[in-house]
Amino acid sequence: MGRQRQHTLSRRRLLRAGTGIAFAGIGASAGVGTGGARGIQDGGNEGTENGDDPFDAGGPYADVYDDIIDDVVLVTVVGSDDPFDDDPGGIGSGFVVDDHVVTNAHVVREASTVELQFRDEQWREGEVVGTDSHSDLAAIAVDDLPDIADGLSFTADDPVIGQEALVLGNPLGLDASLSQGIVSGIDRQLPSPTGFAIPAAIQTDAPVNPGNSGGPLVSLDGEVLGVVFAGAGQTIGFAISAQLADRVIPALIEDGEYEHPYMGIGVSAVGPQVAEANDLEEARGVLVSEVVPDSPADGVLEPIDGETLIDGAPVPIGGDVIVSIGDEDIPNEARLTSVLALETSPGETVELEVIREGEPQQEEVTLEERPDVDLP
């Protein structure tokens, strides 16, 4: 990338203080999403007393930071001045991809326009051209991007547990910040207000705080691994994978929406007791616990039809166990949702290998578009 280094690093200053916004939750009760509250930011350090360039310390983190920070923006949602209004506004992060700014849907919320500030302190008004609550992603159009913004790229490589990763953004309103960690986990499922899980998410131990939402999680090659989603404390943060974002964002830019594939089943894990109760040779796959009426799976897959007791505990019996989709093994629910989200589309017919009454067989399901849901 090798962008010429900038020799001035200054703080962005928000115009005024305001109240906070509601945070998106992680898990059932703990953690917060990372769209931050609007707040007054302190003045910036324009350099050291002896005039040294703060980037001249060198090292891989400084190099990556210098290469991509000009594409990271502060996203400001302007709220109401009325203290009794429930729209206080807020801030988050974003980054430039394909001449648009990518961020989280929970950062922009219902806003049609947002204010964007770049590292050189230039402001732009952005138009929210598409949001997707299922993946918590949003795309923002900008008429006249500053010259410093070259745009970042989503990686085509799968994240690897243990690889180093950097988070860039505006935690707690502190602009142009960098934190460092590793990829701690992959194929995580994150909650969304739609009731469907966000699949294929990345876990990191890089510090993630309110205000980081929508910023990039990047590799040491400067490629975007994911879009920062939330921090759950205890050095646990999450990002929406580049693989999912690279499917959703182009559709949001082009059409304003994204169509997710839908099978219409609920599943549960297959542990040793479930395997024993259902005469399975081994504990693998996912058990179909529910089939939604009139869904693509209705009449094709069979849900559980009862339960038995093993060591005094009720264990479901009778449902199909999905062990593969096409050539992809399905060891658990997280892998099922990832394969559907990243490798299939509405209208596509997928071949499933299921275990039914102890015997393997093949079934075909033609996927549909995920139905609309009422958001809270």
Domain boundaries, the chain: 32-255, 261-369
If you average pLDDT over every residue of the chain, what do you get? 86
Confidence of residue 12 (pLDDT cuts 50, 70, 90): very low
Q: What per-residue confidence (pLDDT) applies to 16?
A: 26
Could you read off the pLDDT of 314-360 as tens digits, one per residue? 999 999 999 999 999 999 999 999 999 999 999 999 999 999 998 99
Same CATH fold assignment for domains 32-255 and 261-369 = no
Establish whether 100 is a catalytic residue: no
> Active-site residue among 67, 71, 106, 175?
106
Establish whether 136 is a catalytic residue: yes
> Active-site residue among 179, 192, 213, 295?
213
Q: What per-residue confidence (pLDDT) applies to 86?
A: 65
Averaged pLDDT, 69-85: 82
Q: What contacts 24+ positions apart, CB below 8 Å, involve 287-290?
A: 287/316, 287/319, 287/320, 287/321, 288/319, 288/320, 288/321, 288/322, 288/354, 289/265, 289/316, 289/319, 290/265, 290/266
The verdict on domain 32-255 having CATH code 3.20.20.140 is no
The phi, psi pair for 173, rounded to 5°, reads: 80, 5
Averaged pLDDT, 294-298: 97
Q: What angle do CA 137, 140, 145 make, to 5 degrees?
A: 135
Under 8 Å between Cβ of 94 and 107: yes
Q: Which residues contact 52 (CB under 8 A, 6 or more apart)?
A: none
- Architecture of domain 261-369 in this structure: Roll (2.30)
> Active-site residue among 67, 132, 136, 187?
136
Residue 165 pLDDT > 80, yes or no? Answer: yes
Residue 24 pLDDT > 50, yes or no? Answer: no
Q: Which amino acid is at 200?
A: A
Establish whether 213 is a catalytic residue: yes
Q: Which amino acid is at 369?
A: E
Averaged pLDDT, 155-159: 96
Averaged pLDDT, 293-313: 95
Residue 3 pLDDT > 50, yes or no? Answer: no
Q: Which residues contact 274 (CB under 8 A, 6 or more apart)?
A: 268, 280, 283, 287, 315, 316
